[in-house]
Structure 1
Amino acid sequence: MHAKHQPDTVLDRRDWIAGLEKGLGLLEAFNETNPRMNATEAAQRCSLTRTAARRYLLTLAHLGYVSTDGKLFWLTPRVLRLGQSFLESARLPRIVQPFLQRVTAGTSETAYLSVMDGDDIVYIARNGPVRAMNTGYVLGGRVPAQVTAAGLLLLSERTTAERDAWLAQRELKTYTTHTITRKDSLRTTLAHIRSQGWAVSEQQLELNYRGIAVPLRDRNGDAVAALSVTMPMGHEATQDAVDRVVPVLRETAQAMRNLI
């Protein structure tokens, strides 16, 4: 079944529009594994009847968000307008570019700002060269949190009880031979990251790549995002990379603190 995003606020039942929830749920049901679905498949992923799923899909097709050949449905590029609207209207992605440029200048690496959305890290701003990586380190890209430095960092910011509850509800997928798939190992890793205040992820998502991240905190001290870099590992030792990058990330994150 398609997992639903947990709401951040409580909504009065009188204000709830179930049809909007179901329509958006259908859009989110399409992914790499399910790029094209018929009404029956979409209904199963969203816990709808086939008839209801078909009506929602036909409405979305009328609005231009999906296409259909009469049997299968798939997303259209119009869906990207939703994400672009966020990037254009949200304050944070707009104000961080000079700071990401500072990180790139100080490290010669690609810099990112990312936030948590459900179980994923979403990259909302970036600066630096485009690497020839196979996975989602692109603006607007979504990557499972536990296999990225930024995701590990933001997960570590949760309380011990919150981290344990998150782990209890997840299955840890394998992406490389280095991916942490044991929950006790990930639990220990998160506790260590929490204590040191920065995160390193090496070859968790893609071989021969390393990520390093620090928290971006607001005036109250809450981690609202992660500031990170990604780099080919090459022959640079982990500690050498940390010594080179973490001071630049921390200095930049501190400079940004009064802006958010």
Structure 2
Amino acid sequence: MNTPATHTASPMEKRDWIAGLEKGLAVIEAFDDQHPRLTASQAGARCGLTRTAARRYLLTLAHLGYVGSDGKLFWLTPRILRLGHAYLESARLPRLVQPFLQRIAGGTQEVAYLGVLDGDDTVYIARSGAMRHMNTGYMLGSRVQAQVTAAGMAILAASGEALADAWLAEHTLSSYTPYTIFSTELLRTELAQVRRQGWALSEQQLELNFRGVAVPLLDRNNALHGAISITMPINQESSEDATKRVLPVLQEAARGLRPLL
């Protein structure tokens, strides 16, 4: 059976749990694009800590160089990128898939991605694109709600009906454009179609005038590792023409990766 490429917490003994580490990471995750600078009180409110406790974590992070401060407000510094860079440098999957993404990008002149599922989101952990596209699309580490991306749809569908239904039951769907599917029943129907055909097409779900095409990455035992995808402007190209142009390239790459995963 396929398994979704998402994080699931492993059981652990209570004596092995380090609560301070959990709280420190929660403080880091309190910052986002809507909250780039926070007071200790605001950070504490966002991660369930008192102002005093949040301030101690923030001051420790500042001492280590991961947080900057003017004495009142706190913000993340570029050093925080060391954490994500450590994953990209050490993880096998992005390094394995990268040459295939380069071939996809070269063969289609579009931006190619490797995406995995983490909770609500598709997370992009590798990309390659033609020079004219390198400053567009998703950056490494970008997180986008799964159901509005072709990669997320491919992963959810390939996870199997039971696991996809469980994901739908646990997540709140958001609408981003007039075309976004945010009805659970409509999305379930769409996932069934993706599951039958083995690939996903997503059009204007997150951003107007953009489409994505994706195929799941399965190994020789049919275990699911993520999805490879292409994102492109719609322009004057029809859905049928775009799919005919890029889908065979994605499918060929997925077949080539299958024995290597």
**TM score, norm. by length of structure 1:** 0.92
For 1:259, the equivalent position in structure 2 comes to: 260
**1: distance between equivalents of 2:161 and 2:102?**
34
Identical residues among aligned pairs (%): 61
Amino acid at match of 2:80: V
- Output aligned runs, 1:1-260, within 5 Å: 7-129=8-130, 130=133, 133=136, 137-260=138-261
Aligned length: 254
Amino acid at match of 1:230: T
Q: Secondary structure at the match of 1:11?
A: coil
**1: distance between equivalents of 2:9 and 2:159?**
15
Q: Deviation at 1:49?
A: 1.8
Q: Secondary structure at the match of 1:34?
A: coil
**1: distance between equivalents of 2:221 and 2:52?**
49
Q: Once the two structures are superposed, what CA deviation does each residue of 1:100-131 show, in whole Å capped at 9, x if it has no partner? A: 12212222211111111221111111111326
Amino acid at match of 2:209: N
The 3 A distance-change label for structure 1 pair 6 and 197 is closer
Q: Which runs of 4+ in 1 moved over 6 A?
A: none
Q: Secondary structure at the match of 2:105?
A: helix
Amino acid at match of 1:117: D
Amino acid at match of 2:205: Q
The 3 A distance-change label for structure 1 pair 85 and 199 is same
Unaligned runs of 5+ in 1: none
Amino acid at match of 1:52: A
**1: distance between equivalents of 2:162 and 2:114?**
26
**2: distance between equivalents of 1:62 and 1:151?**
38
Q: Secondary structure at the match of 1:96?
A: helix
Q: Secondary structure at the match of 1:240?
A: helix
Q: Deviation at 1:197?
A: 0.8
**2: distance between equivalents of 1:7 and 1:73?**
31
Amino acid at match of 1:203: Q
**2: distance between equivalents of 1:203 and 1:31?**
24
Q: Would the aligned equivalents of 2:43 and 2:54 in 1 still touch at CA under 8 Å?
A: yes
Q: Once the two structures are superposed, what CA deviation does each residue of 1:78-120 show, in whole Å capped at 9, x if it has no partner? A: 1111111111111121122221122122222111111112211
Q: Deviation at 1:250?
A: 0.9
Q: Would the aligned equivalents of 2:120 and 2:171 in 1 still touch at CA under 8 Å?
A: no
**2: distance between equivalents of 1:233 and 1:98?**
26
Q: Deviation at 1:22?
A: 0.8
Amino acid at match of 2:222: G
The 3 A distance-change label for structure 1 pair 84 and 6 is closer
Q: Secondary structure at the match of 2:79?
A: helix
Unaligned runs of 5+ in 2: 1-5
The 3 A distance-change label for structure 1 pair 161 and 96 is closer
> What is the RMSD of the two structures over their aligned residues, measured on CA atoms?
1.7
